[in-house]
A = this chain, B = another copy of it.
C-alpha cells in the first residue's frame, strides 16, 4: 500500500472541499447571517488539514491497483466528516453522529435527514446542506466514470460503454471524461434553476431544489418538499430533471450532440422508461380506484413519486406512506432497482436488472435447449460470462447486505417495515422510506447505532458495495 500517495490524494480532495466552502460563505454574507463564521472556521480547518496531507509525497508509479479502493472509501468518509462540522458548529445538532449522518446523506446524494424543523435553519446552512448533494454528484461522476472501471470487475460493463481511461494512464483521461460530464451536470443545474425561477420559485429555493434534483439527492428547503409550491409546472420541471438525472450521462451527452436515435435505441434507457411508465400506470390505477377518485390527481402524484424514487432522488409531493399496500410495495421495489448506470442515481441500477433478466431467461433457455449457445447482448454488444456472473454476484451481495443490516435494525426494536425500508432507502441512496422513516418523518428518533449503520449503508450503496467490502476485507499489509 502506498500510504503516502493516498494521503496526498485525500489532501487534494480536502482542498477542493475547502474551496467549495466559499459558496456558502458568499450566501452567508448576502443574507448577513451569523453562520457565515461557521463556514469560515470550517473552511480554514479543512484547508489546513488538506494542506497538511498534501505534504505527503505523491508517487503515481507507486500507486497500486488496490489503493484505488482505499482512496475512494476514505475519500468519501473524510469529506463527509469535514462536511459535518458546519452542522455541529452552527448548533443544529448536539450529537456528532447526527451531523455525520446528515453530511453522509448529503455527499452520497441520499437525502435522508435527521433535521425536523428545516424552517429554523439559516440560508447558509440550508445552502451547504444541498451543496453537499451537488458536490457528491460531481464526485460520483468522477468515481463511476473514471475510477471504478479501473478497479472493478463488476463495472466492466460500464467500462465498455464509457470511452474510459486505460490502466496506468488514468489521469489525462479522467480529466477529459470528467470535464465533459461535469459540464453537462452544471448546464443541467443552471437550466433547472432558470426554469424553476421563471415558474415562481425564489432564486434560493430554485438553487436548493436544482442541487437536490440533478444529483438525485432530495434535500429540500421546506418540510413539505416540492409540494410546498403547489404548482404543476414546478412538479413537472422537477420530474423531468429527476428523470434526466437518473439517465446515463453519456447518453445525455449523445442527446446533446444530436444522436437521438442512439438515445432512443439504448436498451437501458428503454427499460428505465418502461419501468417508469409501468409503475406509474399501476400506481395511478390503484390510487384512482382506492384513494383519490380523481384521475388527474392520481396521475400527478403517481408520476412524481415514481420518478422520484426510481431516480433515487427522494423528493415527495405527498405522504405516499398512506397509500394502499400495492402502491407502497411497488415504490419499495423501485428503491432496489434505482436509476441508470453512469448517472448520479443509486440502487442496483437498471442495466444490472436488465442483465439479470436476460441471464435468467438464458438459464431457462439453456434448460430447454442444453446444446444451444445463446449469448447475452446489450445494445448489440455481447456481455461476457464474467461480467454477467459478477452482476449476479452483485445482486446476491446487495440482498445479503440488505438482509443483514435489516436484522441489526430490527434488533433495536424498530418494526419490520420501517427497518427494511430504511435499509432499502439508504442502500439505494433514496432518502425517505416507509412508516417510521416515511416521507413526512425523519431519521432523528432512531438509535445512534442505527443511524451509524444507515450512514454506512449510504456509503455501501454509493460505492457499489464491493468497494467497501473490498476495503474491509482487504489484506492490510
Knowing A326-B410, A399-B399, A417-B416, the reply to whether A368 touches B333 (Cβ < 8 A) is no
Does residue A122 face the partner (Cβ distance < 8 Å to B)?
no
Does residue A363 face the partner (Cβ distance < 8 Å to B)?
yes
Q: How far is the CA of A203 from the CA of B393 in the complex (A)?
A: 50
Complex contact B333–A403 (CB within 8 A) = yes
Against B, the Cβ 8 Å flags (1 = close, 0 = not) of A145-167 are 00000011110000000000000
Against B, the Cβ 8 Å flags (1 = close, 0 = not) of A450-477 are 0000000000000000100110011100
Distance in angstroms from A90 CB to nearest chain B CB is 35
A325 closest partner in B (C-beta): B410
Complex contact A153–B419 (CB within 8 A) = no
Complex contact B325–A416 (CB within 8 A) = yes
Does residue A329 face the partner (Cβ distance < 8 Å to B)?
yes
Pick from B69, B332, B393: contact of A359, CB below 8 A.
B393
Does residue A366 face the partner (Cβ distance < 8 Å to B)?
yes
A329 closest partner in B (C-beta): B410
Complex contact B413–A66 (CB within 8 A) = no
Does residue A354 face the partner (Cβ distance < 8 Å to B)?
no
Q: How far is the CA of A399 from the CA of B394 in the complex (A)?
A: 14
Stretch at the interface among A96-104, A133-141, A177-185, A384-392: A384-392
Does residue A92 face the partner (Cβ distance < 8 Å to B)?
no
A434 closest partner in B (C-beta): B416
A431-457 CB contacts (< 8 Å) to partner B: 434
Residues of B within 8 A of A407 (CB): 326, 329-330, 333
Number of copies: 2
Does residue A236 face the partner (Cβ distance < 8 Å to B)?
no
Determine chain A's interface SS by DSSP, over half rule. Answer: helix
Does residue A31 face the partner (Cβ distance < 8 Å to B)?
no
Knowing A325-B410, A385-B389, A407-B329, the reply to whether A364 touches B469 (Cβ < 8 A) is yes
Q: How far is the CA of A368 from the CA of B1 in the complex (A)?
A: 12
Q: How far is the CA of A397 from the CA of B416 in the complex (A)?
A: 24
Does residue A172 face the partner (Cβ distance < 8 Å to B)?
no
Residues of B within 8 A of A153 (CB): 363, 366-367, 370
Does residue A113 face the partner (Cβ distance < 8 Å to B)?
no
Does residue A292 face the partner (Cβ distance < 8 Å to B)?
no
Does residue A411 face the partner (Cβ distance < 8 Å to B)?
yes
Knowing A367-B466, A368-B470, the reply to whether A324 touches B151 (Cβ < 8 A) is no
Against B, the Cβ 8 Å flags (1 = close, 0 = not) of A44-88 are 000000000000000000000110010000000000000000000
Pick from B366, B397, B416: contact of A328, CB below 8 A.
B416
Q: How far is the CA of A434 from the CA of B416 in the complex (A)?
A: 11
Residues of B within 8 A of A394 (CB): 363
Q: How far is the CA of A330 from the CA of B407 in the complex (A)?
A: 7
A379-428 CB contacts (< 8 Å) to partner B: 385, 388-390, 392-397, 399-400, 403, 406-407, 410-411, 413-417, 419-420
Does residue A202 face the partner (Cβ distance < 8 Å to B)?
no
Q: How far is the CA of A328 from the CA of B415 in the complex (A)?
A: 10
Residues of B within 8 A of A399 (CB): 395, 399
Given contacts A333-B403, A416-B417, 10 further A-B contacts (CB under 8 A): A153-B366, A325-B410, A359-B393, A360-B396, A363-B397, A367-B466, A368-B475, A392-B395, A395-B396, A416-B434
Residues on A close to B: CB < 8 A?
65-66, 69, 151-154, 286, 290, 324-326, 328-330, 332-333, 356, 359-360, 363-364, 366-368, 370, 385, 388-390, 392-397, 399-400, 403, 406-407, 410-411, 413-417, 419-420, 434, 466, 469-470, 473-475
Q: List 25 A-B contacts (CB under 8 A).
A: A65-B370, A69-B367, A153-B367, A154-B363, A325-B410, A325-B419, A329-B410, A329-B419, A329-B420, A330-B407, A332-B416, A333-B403, A333-B407, A360-B393, A360-B396, A363-B390, A363-B393, A363-B397, A364-B466, A368-B474, A388-B389, A392-B393, A392-B395, A399-B399, A417-B417
